[in-house]
Amino acid sequence: MSEITNFLDQLARGDEHAAERLLEVVYSELRMLAAAKLAKEAPGHTLQPTALVHEAWLRLAGDDRRDWKSRRYFFGACAEAMRRILIERARHKARLKRGGDRDRVELEDVETDEPLATVDLLALDEALAKLTAEDPAKAELVKLRFFAGLTLDQASRTLGISPATADRHWAYARAFLHHEVRGGGER
Amino acid sequence: MQNESRPTLEALFEACRNREPGAERQAYLDGACGDDAELRSRVEALLASHDEATGFLEDPAVSVSREEPGARIGNYKLLQEIGEGGMGVVYMAEQEKPVRRMVAVKVIKLGMDTKQVIARFEAERQALALMDHANIARVLDAGSTDAGRPYFVMELVRGVPISEYCDTHKLATDERLGLFVDVCRAVQHAHQKGIIHRDLKPTNVLVTSHDGTPVPKIIDFGVAKATNQRLTERTLFTEFHQFIGTPEYMSPEQAEMSGLDVDTRSDIYALGVLLYQLLTGTTPVDPTDLRTAGFEEMTRMIREDQPQAPSTRISRLGADGDRIALHRSTDAGSLTRLFRGDLDWIVMKALEKDRTRRYDSASAFAEDVLRHLEDRPVEAGPPSVVYRARKFAHRNRKTVAAVLLLVLVIALGLAGTTAGFLSASAQARRSGAISDSLQDVLAMTDPARAAAQGDVESVLATVREVFGEEHATYAAVLDTLALRLHDAGDFDAASELGRESLGVWKDVHGERHPNTAAALARLGTFLRAQGDYLEAETALRQSLAIRASSPDASGPASHDARIALAELLRDRGEFAAADELLEESLAALRASPTPAHARIIATLEMRAAVQLNIPTADTRETLRALYAEANGFFPDDSPVLAMAALGYGRILFQEGDLEASEPYLREALERYRAGQDASGFYHVVALELVFQLVRGREDPESVRETDELLSEMIRFARVFWSVDDLVKNQRYYAERMVERGRIVAALDAAWDAYRTLANAKRPAEDRQSLRGDLIELSVKVSVDADLAPEVFALARDAMELARLDDPDNAFVQVALGAVLYRQGELDRAAELLDRAQESLGDSRAREARKVAPVLHTFRALVHAALGDEAVAREQLAVVRDALEGGSGGEHGPALVREVEALLERSASSNEGD
């Protein structure tokens, strides 16, 4: 686990290269935790992303590492990793609907409680890609809020913008994404 | 075109999103977009999405870990976090409807099945409503947050966990028992209504102080059941910790996975653990052992391991035992003696693994504790293992006693030794060893005090028969029995045996032998307990005189005699004599090649308390010594260190040596901030003292620190200060913030003060001058368009409430109108400002002239935004005149520009980037 602490320190010193490796570690850790949960839980149980991210945080960085700089990198990586895992799963589900191999049971088969029910993740991901191209700062804000679960206030501190600006960006980004997801942007 | 219009698109969106859909927006867009149809349709599409998208992406894929203060759950506004447990986070919150009051809201941490939790709570709601007891905090409500997590609303209890309260106030064992009886009675009340707590532990029993009397209150009734904590085989270890939180309070049947129903007797077990902890400062099963054991091992430990009796626990703790005893205003030896017998048995009966052998009700438990307090025989007997031995012994009492004694004598190698063989001190040690071992034997053979008299006779008869009346062993047995009688509260009988034993020791060893001295000291203690102070003093002084000439003069036995004598003198009000004796004690303790630090510290504490009654005493030096001594002895995070620094710093402060006091007071403050006692009473005391030191200084660093200290005090002193003190300080803080130019913080503090008064149900008149402050601050806030929306929301809350108190006040109307304009509620803003204009008119009153520029500016702004250009321009002219006349205020020019910009229909208004 000192590995992750190293990355966080390198990042704090401005080593951009560490970011990608941090992401890799967080990603595999989250997947591993998810798989471990699966093995122990009875079938039909749901996966709790909250518990996963917090366990990952505890395991990777240790509970005492609470300064915002490290959290910023960590939650950035977490948001991205969570996004990848969820999108991966959503794609897999879409494939299954079209007739995939039904017998294999893996991570992708597990139901999540919330996001899949209320948001079309694949459409959201496309819209998010579009927003990233237009305005990366706003897209980053959305990722921190939606995928890493930060509050608007925490996200604004993470990004170094004022709460008022964050509120403005959030309103705009949300309207933009909602419009895109509903297909408004295409026509 | 696209690149050019994009910022405009965002700015337009921003300008419109807080305006009401419909005519208001249309009017604005008509003006702003002109004939750019594409821009207009893009903005409208975005706005339509915006209006539809409420809730969209608001629940994260990874849900937020906790609610933030300021958030709203149902009818409750979360104000600040006040605690965090295994199961959830607790907030102090304000209920707004149907009554305004402060409550505690507990939000359950992890994704439980919310529906089931609420359903289980509903099932028990009626029973919970029937509970009405001064020592039980009511559970008022339950529901689920927007994020779908269950929450419980409870009566707000401003207290600290019972164990912490007892330790910080150094309650003696009897006082602890008194509090515990109150807790039992409350639990009994709940049990009678059919409610089981299931999660009793110190953090769920809070103690508040009412006029100096501690009052325990049990929280969380009904919560554990609703969140259903029964274990299943599937339950993961980590989840187990999260949901159960504190396995050391869990009964064996709860730890068992058979699904055996939990009943009232599980609460009895938890009460037993609680009492164990109040007495010994430790839990029956070591929490570290529990947490490092695997899941299986942990449940096994709870189900099978027989805990040590409280007296045994204290005697095995070593230096920790002394430390724990200090929190109980006594020493480890006395605690061990106090617990042996009644209290051991009472606690162990409650902790029986087999629940049928526990007390059958909380009131039966309480009764037995009371019996002990009133020196009546208790119902509980020796714990189960010993129980069987006792049965055997009971049938063959005399034989067994004789056999045990003989075994003992042989084991100790005492047979055949005579006085001439051993040195005096070796004999004293031997006698002590016999006495200790006998005590253990007697603890087993003595079922209850009722039979004690019979046992005394039978044991004495046996010993006399075996050793003869003139033998040291006979005296040792007498001493043991006397001590037991003393512990049992029969002081007359103890004194009688003490006298007899003294006679035997004198016969065996002569007048000046250490054993004679020890017998005199014991007799002195018994006599003092009996209330015969004069004879007690004589005995103790004789004992000390004998010891003074022996090599044992600085030993622990002499120390005990000296302390007993000092206590006696103190109780009689002879403080100077007590002080002198304590000084001797300290000198003797320090002279020892292996100084007993716990004793030195206890003695210093006692001396400081005695010296406070002697005007000429050097209490400062005693507190300094205490500080120095404690720092070498206690671990760095011990609350005693904070206490020692505070005590020494405070006396320096009181004696006027401010400079010298500062480092100690600061050290105390830092220790309280970092330690377990953070937010406790002494933390606030330390804050107040450092505040007094710093507040007079004028350098920027000190000014800043004063602000911070004041804010910290307000935060932590809520529980301790009266409403008036709290409000006074909140207002003072608001004033300071205004001086600093930190208007938002000032508004926050003034609003806090206002609500404190409102919550205390003070009449509206009491809030009048505060209302004036709030009006002024709200106006100041409104002139700054760049502030965050929360600030305007805060100012609005304040002004809406001010308006309820005083509906026709024109200044409230101006302030509220200005804030509403900032929030985009143009129509209501215009109405209020116009009405204020009417009532203020051309008034020349000072207040009216002061508010006039603001009134005119915001009338200009609101009418410009509403498209009423004529009024806007007319008002703008008035404002410009005022500006030129030099009475526009510092924000005047900026505001005029704001009006002009609006009038020029520039799309990039002040709200843009």
Annotate B408-472 with DSSP letters as a single string.
Answer: HHHHTT-TT--TTTS-HHHHHHHHHHHHHHHHHHHHHH---HHHHHHHHHHHHHHHHHHH-TTSH
Q: How confident is the model at residue B706 (pLDDT cuts 50, 70, 90)?
A: very high
In the sheet that holds B101-108, the strands lie side by side as B72-73, B76-84, B88-95, B101-108, B150-155, B139-144
* Mean per-residue pLDDT of chain B: 77
Sole residue written with tokens 């759950």:
B73
Interface contact flag, A171 B14, Cβ < 8 Å: yes
String of DSSP letters for B799-863: HHHHHHH-TT-HHHHHHHHHHHHHTT-HHHHHHHHHHHHHHHTT---HHHHHHHHHHHHHHHHHH
Nearest partner of B224 among B120, B104, B360, B111, judged by Cα: B120
Cα(B806)–Cα(B146) distance, integer angstroms: 35
A129 with A182, same domain: the answer is yes
A134 with A81, same domain: the answer is no
Q: How confident is the model at residue B114 (pLDDT cuts 50, 70, 90)?
A: low
Sole residue written with tokens 């020349």:
B844
The more confidently predicted of residues A160 and B691 is B691
The more confidently predicted of residues A5 and A64 is A5
pLDDT for residue B681 = 73
- Name every chain A residue with its beta carbon within 8 A of the beta carbon of B50: 171, 174-175, 178
Interface contact flag, A49 B14, Cβ < 8 Å: no
pLDDT for residue A113 = 38
Q: How far away is chain A from the Cα of B689, in angstroms, using its nearest Cα?
A: 31
Last residue of a domain, one of A91, A114, A137: A114
Out of B242-256, B346-360, B385-399, B515-529, least confident range? B385-399
A109 with A129, same domain: the answer is no
Q: Is pLDDT above 50 for B232?
A: no
Q: Is pLDDT above 90 for B666?
A: yes
Cα(B184)–Cα(B343) distance, integer angstroms: 16
pLDDT for residue B205 = 93
Residue B199 appears among annotated catalytic residues: yes
A85 with A14, same domain: the answer is yes
Cα(A64)–Cα(B447) distance, integer angstroms: 52
Residue B63 in contact with partner chain A when CB distance is under 8 A = yes
Q: How far away is chain A from the Cα of B136, in angstroms, using its nearest Cα?
A: 33
Q: Is pLDDT above 90 for A61?
A: no
Range B161-232+246-373 has CATH code 1.10.510.10: yes
Share of chain A above pLDDT 70, in %: 38
What residues 13-72 of chain A have any CB closer than 8 A to a CB of chain B? 40-42, 48-55
- Name every chain B residue with its beta carbon within 8 A of the beta carbon of A175: 13, 17, 46-47, 49-50, 53
Question: Matching CATH topology for B72-156 and B771-903?
Answer: no
The more confidently predicted of residues B145 and B187 is B187
Residue B177, both tokens: 């028992």
The residue-averaged pLDDT of B685-704 equals 89
A72 with A136, same domain: the answer is no
pLDDT for residue B109 = 57
The residue-averaged pLDDT of B448-459 equals 47
A127 with A108, same domain: the answer is no
pLDDT for residue A71 = 56
Whether complex ipTM tops 0.85:
no
Q: Quick one: how far is CA B233 from the chain centroid?
A: 35
DSSP A47: B
The residue-averaged pLDDT of B9-36 equals 82
The residue-averaged pLDDT of B657-682 equals 83
Q: Is pLDDT above 70 for B774?
A: yes
- Name every chain A residue with its beta carbon within 8 A of the beta carbon of B787: 164
The more confidently predicted of residues B188 and B783 is B188
CATH number of the domain at B771-903, out of 3.30.70.3400, 3.90.1150.50, 1.25.40.10, 1.10.10.60?
Answer: 1.25.40.10
Share of chain B above pLDDT 90, in %: 15
Interface contact flag, A51 B111, Cβ < 8 Å: yes
The beta-carbon neighbor of A42 closest among B49, B50, B234 is B234
A85 with A98, same domain: the answer is yes
pLDDT for residue A74 = 65
Interface contact flag, A50 B789, Cβ < 8 Å: no
A10 with A23, same domain: the answer is yes
Residue B492, both tokens: 């007359």
Q: How confident is the model at residue A48 (pLDDT cuts 50, 70, 90)?
A: very low
Closest chain A residue to B6 measured between Cα atoms? A134
Out of B227-231, B248-252, B362-366, B591-595, least confident range? B227-231
Q: Is pLDDT above 70 for A95?
A: no
Residue B804, both tokens: 């309820």
Q: Is pLDDT above 50 for A187?
A: no
* Per-residue pLDDT reduced to its tens digit, B272-281: 999 999 999 9
- Name every chain B residue with its beta carbon within 8 A of the beta carbon of A86: 61
Closest chain A residue to B787 measured between Cα atoms? A164
Last residue of a domain, one of A87, A114, A141: A114
* Per-residue pLDDT reduced to its tens digit, B342-352: 888 899 889 98
- Please state the φ and ψ torsions of residue B153, each to the nearest 5 degrees: -110, 130
Cα(B675)–Cα(B636) distance, integer angstroms: 10
- Name every chain B residue with its beta carbon within 8 A of the beta carbon of A163: 788, 790
CATH number at residue A184: 1.10.10.10
Residue B811, both tokens: 């200044």
pLDDT for residue B394 = 43
Interface contact flag, A146 B110, Cβ < 8 Å: no
Q: How confident is the model at residue B387 (pLDDT cuts 50, 70, 90)?
A: very low
A102 with A178, same domain: the answer is no
Read off the amino acid at residue B196. Answer: I
pLDDT for residue B460 = 61
A3 with A71, same domain: the answer is yes
pLDDT for residue B218 = 92
Last residue of a domain, one of A63, A84, A114: A114
- Name every chain A residue with its beta carbon within 8 A of the beta carbon of B49: 175-176, 178-179, 182, 184
The residue-averaged pLDDT of B563-584 equals 89
Interface contact flag, A51 B110, Cβ < 8 Å: yes
Nearest partner of B851 among B840, B860, B862, B835, judged by Cα: B840
pLDDT for residue B819 = 92
Tell me which of B113, B174, B182, B199 is the catalytic residue.
B199
Superfamily the domain B72-156 falls into: Phosphorylase Kinase; domain 1 (3.30.200.20)
A132 with A180, same domain: the answer is yes
Q: Which CATH architecture has domain B383-546?
A: Alpha Horseshoe (1.25)
The more confidently predicted of residues B42 and A82 is B42
Interface contact flag, B57 A49, Cβ < 8 Å: no
The beta-carbon neighbor of A49 closest among B47, B62, B913 is B62
Q: For an interface test with B, give the residue of A50, A66, A86, A134 to mutate (most B CBs within 10 A).
A: A50
Interface contact flag, B786 A164, Cβ < 8 Å: yes
Q: Is pLDDT above 70 for B418?
A: no
Residue A166 in contact with partner chain B when CB distance is under 8 A = no
The residue-averaged pLDDT of B353-375 equals 90
Q: For an interface test with A, give the residue of B13, B18, B57 to mutate (most A CBs within 10 A).
A: B57
Cα(A16)–Cα(A181) distance, integer angstroms: 32
Q: How far away is chain A from the Cα of B71, in angstroms, using its nearest Cα?
A: 11
Q: Is pLDDT above 70 for A160?
A: yes
Q: How confident is the model at residue B541 (pLDDT cuts 50, 70, 90)?
A: very high
Most confident of A69-83, A155-169, B102-116: A155-169
Q: Is pLDDT above 50 for B105?
A: yes
Residue B507 in contact with partner chain A when CB distance is under 8 A = no
The beta-carbon neighbor of A146 closest among B45, B47, B57 is B57
Cα(A164)–Cα(B179) distance, integer angstroms: 51
Q: Is pLDDT above 80 for B842?
A: no
Closest chain A residue to B13 measured between Cα atoms? A172
A68 with A154, same domain: the answer is no
Cα(B896)–Cα(B854) distance, integer angstroms: 11
pLDDT for residue B368 = 93
pLDDT for residue A131 = 92
Residue B61 in contact with partner chain A when CB distance is under 8 A = yes
Is B689:B678 a contact under the CB 8 Å cutoff?
no
Q: Is pLDDT above 60 for B773?
A: yes
Domain count, chain A: 2
Interface contact flag, A148 B53, Cβ < 8 Å: no
The beta-carbon neighbor of B50 closest among A52, A164, A171 is A171
Residue A136 in contact with partner chain B when CB distance is under 8 A = no
Q: Is pLDDT above 70 for B293?
A: no
In the sheet that holds B213-218, the strands lie side by side as B160-161, B205-210, B213-218
Is B514:B488 a contact under the CB 8 Å cutoff?
no
Domain of A134?
119-187
What residues 748-807 of chain B have any CB closer than 8 A to a CB of chain A? 786-790
Q: What is the dihedral of CA B782, B784, B789, B792, to 10 degrees?
A: -20
Cα(B451)–Cα(B444) distance, integer angstroms: 13
The size of the A-B interface in CB pairs under 8 A is 105
Residue B56 in contact with partner chain A when CB distance is under 8 A = yes
Q: How many Cα atoms within 13 Å fall on the side-chain side of residue B21?
A: 10
Interface contact flag, A167 B788, Cβ < 8 Å: yes
The more confidently predicted of residues A99 and B477 is B477
Out of B323-327, B405-409, B617-621, least confident range? B405-409
Q: Is pLDDT above 60 for B911?
A: no
Q: How far away is chain A from the Cα of B162, in angstroms, using its nearest Cα?
A: 28
The beta-carbon neighbor of B63 closest among A50, A118, A171 is A50
Q: Is pLDDT above 90 for B579?
A: yes
The full set of domain ranges for chain B reads 2-52, 72-156, 161-232+246-373, 383-546, 771-903
Interface contact flag, A163 B56, Cβ < 8 Å: no
The residue-averaged pLDDT of B786-802 equals 87
Q: How far away is chain B from the Cα of A116, in angstroms, using its nearest Cα?
A: 9
Residue A155 in contact with partner chain B when CB distance is under 8 A = no
Q: Is pLDDT above 60 for B687?
A: yes
Cα(A157)–Cα(A176) distance, integer angstroms: 23
Residue A183 in contact with partner chain B when CB distance is under 8 A = no
Q: Is pLDDT above 80 for B266?
A: yes
- Name every chain B residue with its beta carbon within 8 A of the beta carbon of A78: 62
Cα(B4)–Cα(B6) distance, integer angstroms: 6
pTM of the model: 0.45
pLDDT for residue A38 = 43
Out of B74-78, B403-407, B603-607, B742-746, least confident range? B403-407
pLDDT for residue B905 = 59
Interface contact flag, B62 A184, Cβ < 8 Å: no
